Structure 1
């Protein structure tokens, strides 16, 4: 859930605490296992915001969700102060799209809170990531990135290995074919013996493949979720929880036969 005015899919829809908390309640009712709250848009070419503005957007929502729900809360931020204040407000984990690279205090903040952290791969920043991204071997490069970041977090900063989740960063500095290759080879990232999160929901590469506008990407999104789970994803980050949950449940049932 994005509490932003400019996120690519739901920007502006949950800009007040009441609207955001009500939506979180619906998400939980629809089957969400984690509520992920983002206060700064990470869409391509988005403009950065100040720490104070991000805190103003995020903290009241985290507090409101924690008052109403006993469900893990993730905060999508790459700023250590936002993470720290979110932990105080009741958040359980941080979703850092920079992979603990943006803010030198982030890893220490996560370790001090004994919180979970999602380490995502991204080439560049949201402002630069889609300017002609290229890879010789994208799966190899992401694996090398994960190996280095895990070592930094665990050996360098003392974060418990069991508190790490890996995200290959679909749509973040990737071409269409890169995103497809990641979905096809998610099982390779399982070699780290850590949960793998995949976020394909409503993203631009789906629209390019299916020739759909933003609001017409649901079918492609559900297909990408099913394939991601089939290929080893442990967590999927979605917008339409009810439809995604049914997709995951069915895919999992087939896998268990």
Structure 2
């Protein structure tokens, strides 16, 4: 499967793609404050690409549990300078991690290629979908909800959510073939819900290609009461399962470790296609 977005092309065939996380925020749960200067952010961007990231996901507002929402101008001022510098000086695909259509458009004008929307095109009244249609760009649409309570089977609920995402996209002129879905692990889900969704991830694979974002999240640390930076092995374990269950893109903090793991995982998963 081939995706083209604002001059960049990527393939979801016989290789799992790695999306490296670059949070230019003071309060993200794992790396908040580490890269919120332009110099530090750019150095980390270079490292992520050198380590093997195919995509950089740049975010200017934390969406961790209990986060404080920043104003529009602050978010734009955080992401636009680093996107401009990366797009000018590094040869990579850039994703903007935002649910605000104004930020998405500013990021695209600065050089971003993909919109990563944690509300799956459903936070506004179609404005984000209109921006994606205007620039004919790829959208990663994440499942989300305010509550952790599900009246229906959780996978049925998620399928219904994504039906709405595709409806919003189509009604606002988007190419629905430009959508990649994210089950939203840790968003609107507790420990048991996260585990169930990962166990049944293959039930979502027919909707669209799947991106999975579990890197260092709380449910991974829960069994051994581990802090975020002690969850690397658990993250790789979960991502290995996710690839087996159909995930095509992994959104991670630790790119090099995943690159090494995928060097054998992909050989096994795609054995019949490669040999």
Among 165, 168, 180, the alignment partner of 2:195 is 180
Q: Secondary structure at the match of 1:26?
A: helix
2:206 maps to what in 1? 191
SS of residue in 2 equivalent to 1:191: coil
Q: TM-score, normalised to structure 2's length?
A: 0.87
Please list every run of at least 4 consecutive aligned residues from structure 1 whose deviation after the TM superposition is greater than 4 angstroms: none
Task: State the TM-score, normalizing by the size of structure 1.
Answer: 0.93
1:7-61 CA distances to partner (integer Å, 9 max, x unpaired)?
0001000011111111111111111010000000000010111110001100001
Match of 2:19 in 1: none
Alignment partner of 1:111 is 2:133: yes
**Higher RCO by CA contacts (8 Å cutoff, separation 6 or greater):** 2
1:139 paired residue among 149, 155, 159: 155
Residue from 70, 90, 101 that aligns with 2:91: 70
Tell whether the 8 Å contact from 1:186 to 1:232 is kept in structure 2 after alignment: yes
C-alpha contact 1:230 1:252 (8 A) present in aligned 2: no
Task: State the Cα deviation string for residues 166-192 of structure 1 (Å, max 9, x = none).
Answer: 001000011111111111111111112
Is 1:58 aligned with 2:74?
no
Q: Which stretches in structure 1 are left out of the alignment for 5+ residues?
A: none
Separation in structure 1 between the aligned mates of residue 270 and residue 179 of structure 2, nearest angstrom: 26
Q: Who is 1:91 aligned against? A: 112
Q: 1:9 aligns with which of 30, 49, 68?
A: 30
2:165 counterpart of 1:165: no
Task: Work out the CA distance in 2 between the residues paired with 1:27 and 1:150.
Answer: 32
Q: 2:64 aligns with which of 43, 54, 59?
A: 43
- 1:212 aligns to 2:226 (yes or no): yes
The Cα shift of 1:230 comes to 0.8
Corresponding residue SS for 2:80: helix
Q: Secondary structure at the match of 2:23?
A: coil
Structure 2 unaligned segments of length 5 or more: list them. 1-21
Deviation track 1:103-125 (CA, whole Å, cap 9, x = no partner) reads 3321111110111111111111x
Q: Shift of the alpha carbon at 1:211? A: 2.3
Indicate whether 1:120 and 2:142 are aligned.
yes
The root-mean-square deviation of aligned C-alpha atoms, in Å, is 1.1
How far apart are the structure 1 equivalents of 2:264 and 2:31? 26
Match for residue 152 of structure 1 among 164, 168, 171: 168
Which structure has the highest strand share of the two?
A: 2
CA–CA separation in structure 2 for the residues paired with 1:162 and 1:190: 14
Q: 2:101 is matched with which residue: 59, 63, 80?
A: 80
